[in-house]
Amino acid sequence: MKIFKASKSEEEKLIEGCIAGKRDMQRLLYDLYAKKMMVVCLRYASTSFEAEDIVQEGFVKVFSNIQNFKRDCPLEFWIRKIIVNTALKHLRQKSLLTVSHETEEVENLSSGNYNLNDYSMDELLGMIQSLAPRYRMVFNLYAIEGYNHKEIAEMLGITEGTSKSQYSRARAILQNMLVNQDKQYQENVISKQ
Amino acid sequence: MSSANNKEYGELEQSMWRRFQDAEAMPDPDVWSRIEHTLVIQENAKYKKRLLFYRQLAAACFVLFILAGSALLMHFKQDQEHATLATAQREQTTINEADLPVTMPAQEQTIAAATPAKVPAQPEVTPSAVETIVSDELIYNAHPADEVKSQEPTYSLGNTIAANSTATIDAPQTTDMGTIAGSTKSSSTVIGGYPETAKGTIARQENYMPASQAIAAVPDSYTSPSAINPLLRRNATLGTYDTDKLATDNVNKPEVALALNTPGADNKQEKTAGSNSRWNLGMAYGSSYFDQNIAIPGYTITPPRIMIVPDPTVARQPPGPSISAESEENMRDARIEFEENTQAAMSFNVDVRTGFRIGKRLKLLSGLGYSQNSSKTKTNYIVEQFIFKPRTNERSKLQPTTVFLPSLHTFTTDSISVTKTKEPFDVDYSYQMLSIPVGLQVEGNLSQKWYWYAMGSTAVNFLMQTAIKAANPEISDVTYRFTDDSPFRRVHFSGNVGLGLGARISDAVSISFGPVFRTFFNSMLTDDNAVATQGRPYTIGLNMGINYKLDQ
């Protein structure tokens, strides 16, 4: 599929078309941003199916509310914000169902140099997805979306301290995973030799 | 996100951010078709809602039109009946007159008001002032029935006895006084009528006793004005009845007018009653259509699918209850079905309100109300939930429900089965509320009898009971009372607007009717339980009320 990069005026046409409810314009907008948003959703969701559900719900919200887009920020940023909020809402509903892993003890490792380029995207996503929902949310919001702990606390309805502690736990779990992965890789290499 | 630049990231965060910055993943091609499907459903729902609103508005207008038409028809029919009754009474009186040697008492006579009534003399007779009759001297009609009947216009001028009731009658000079007296009686009612009387066609009067005798024969009870009505009777007992004084005395005028049943008296009386009334009590009944506006969440359950796991040796528990593909499909259909089939249903509201007039046209209203709002749907799906007991690991089944009920709660079950029934069944939702409304009403007169009103009010509503009843033996009814742990809000705020017409059926009592619209300012479900975007419920209906003025 040809990748459609919208210029400013094209983006404006796209928005106007979506406001008018033109299905072809909605499809174009979807094609333009769906892939990026899918990765965002994969980071928050536990499964790719769940991520697709969030994408679906998020884009429906985008199309239903696009007339409210103030144009004071890039369209991609606005869509991303909606998708993130949808994902959070999704996880908030579901978090009551899942067994919390928050009590498990995690060994704190010293920060080291991580070359994540050695890991595939699926591996990285898998590591984030394997975190408990609360940790996953806080980690995504802080490390990747760039929110601070105060903002995260407001978004999730927790205290700033809780956000910080959950983030440090999530970070420690990920570090452990990376160390284990490295060990396993080295063992595999040694056994092959 | 504005603070992102100010933060210090470790190596891990920076690496992660770099990797995910421009990462892309292709979603399933099916996702777009699902989005498109949802958009189509949304558009249809919007269209359907608009259509429903216009349908209800049209229905309300139609009902209002029918009611207004019926009321007007009844009103005019009553007037017509009154007119017919009056004519019949007059005819009856005429017949009685024919039988009686002495005719009607003075109250049935018409005497011109204020200025002395000049009865034109007949051409053959030289007109001259013959006799002056003071109002308390009564004039008797000695005409036969047919003559009286032909004089209806004279009667229809009204049964008014003027306060200054001096009637000067020009009568023929040629007749003797006795005859004149008789003729006078005749001419006073004939007024421009029967030349044969003036001509002295005595033959016709042979059937009647002479006027002087007739006067003499009349009993006092007929001739006394105090006999006419109680007020005059009272005056008579108090002293001499002076009509001139009455005529000039403005204070007594309304009383006299009232006593004499003149139309002007009614007007003044009504005005006085209306202006003095500050408090009133009203009871209203409104039937309406209620839209509960509850949305079922688009996503409530997670199928147990295998996700991307970095380490295949690490086993992961799927989040949420497990559900088969068929059940998942059924669940989706059930949600769509709920959105499509849920309809506003017949509801009612009863209010008792006290009104206090705070201006010429403005009224402050408050009171107590009770409403029962209903909504209904037709469904094909039954939701069964299963849980495993923690220690024994036994699988137990919860009471089956419809998609509506489990969707109000977050699932806490281990597995869910959604089955489709052969025949669709009804599910009724009813909400009983106790309301305390406070509002303002503006009203104005359309006519002496009819008035218009427009009202606006706010109310605090306490949800006393919520009942969900399914017409399926497998599903038991659910009822939440005010004190129960319910997903519904206990306290709701609402706003009412309405307008309509009212009719005064007496000085104190009036009835009113008109369309009314009520919208709630919050959703039925509490925020914690609203897993999907909730709309605000509203009702459209027809209000009928009866008002009673307390301080007449």
Q: What are phi and psi of B123, to 5 degrees?
A: -55, -35
* Alpha-carbon gap: B537 to the closest alpha carbon of chain A (Å): 21
- pLDDT at A178 (0 to 100): 85
Total length of chain A: 193
By DSSP bridging, strand B117-119 and strand B167-172 are: parallel
Strand partners, B170: B129
Q: What are the angstrom distances between the C-alpha of A50 and each of A101, B202, B532?
A: 20, 116, 17
B199-213, B257-271, B295-309, B439-453: range with lowest mean pLDDT = B257-271
pLDDT in the model for residue A56? 93
Strand partners, B379: B425
| Segment among A20-29, B69-78, B215-224, B259-268 with least mean pLDDT | B259-268
Q: What is the DSSP string of A121-180?
A: HHHHHHHHHTS-HHHHHHHIIIIII---HHHHHHHHT--HHHHHHHHHHHHHHHHHHHHH
CATH number listed for the domain at residues A100-193 = 1.10.10.10
Chain B residues in contact with A184 by the CB 8 A cut-off are: 311
Structure token pair of residue A119: 């890991």
Residue A75: name the closest of A146, A25, A11, A163 by CA.
A11
Interatomic CA distance for residues A153 and A161, integer angstroms: 8
Check residues B389 and B112 and name the one with the higher pLDDT. B389
Q: Regarding predicted confidence, which is higher, B299 or A72?
A: A72
Considering CB atoms only, which of B1, B302, B307 is closest to A94? Answer: B302
Task: Name B512's bridge partners.
Answer: B502, B545
pLDDT of residue B1: 44
Taking an 8 Å cut-off on Cβ atoms, the answer to whether A36 and B410 are in contact is no
pLDDT: which is higher, B437 or B190: B437
Q: What is the pLDDT at residue A86?
A: 92
Q: CB count, 10 Å around CB of B259? A: 21
* Cβ neighbours around B310 below 10 Å, total: 21
Question: What residues pair up with B291 in beta bridges, in sequence order?
Answer: B538
pLDDT value at position B314?
A: 47
Q: What pLDDT is stored for residue A188 in this prediction?
A: 81
DSSP H helices, B344-415, are 404-408
Token pair 């959950």: residue: A166
Query: Of the given ranges (B204-213, B396-405, B430-439), which has the lowest mean pLDDT?
Result: B204-213
The token pair at A89 is 């809402």
CB proximity under 8 Å: A 69-88 to B: none
- pLDDT tens readout for residues A133-154: 888 889 999 988 888 899 999 8
- DSSP, collapsed to helix, strand or coil, labels residue B47 as helix
Q: Which of A8-17, A178-187, B389-398 has the lowest mean pLDDT?
A: B389-398
For the record, the structure tokens of B157 come out as: 């001028």
Please indicate whether the domains covering A1-97 and A100-193 agree at the CATH topology level. no
CATH architecture of A1-97: Orthogonal Bundle (1.10)
- Identity of the residue numbered A190: I
Q: Residue A116 and residue B9: Cβ atoms within 8 Å?
A: no
- φ, ψ dihedrals at B173, nearest 5°: -75, -25
pLDDT band for position B64 (50/70/90)?
Answer: confident
Number of helices and strands in chain A (H, E): 8, 0
21-50 of A, contacting B, C-beta below 8 A: 21, 23, 26-27, 30, 34-36, 38-39, 42-43, 46-50
- pLDDT single digits (tens) B316-348: 444 556 677 788 888 888 888 888 888 888 899
Average of per-residue pLDDT values in chain A: 83
Half-sphere CA count of B30, side-chain side, radius 13 A: 5
pLDDT of residue A73: 87
Q: Per-residue pLDDT for B76 more than 80?
A: no
Residues of chain B with pLDDT > 90: what percent? Answer: 17
Structure tokens at B147: 């003559």
By three-state DSSP, how is residue B183 classified? helix
Residue-range domain boundaries for chain A? 1-97, 100-193
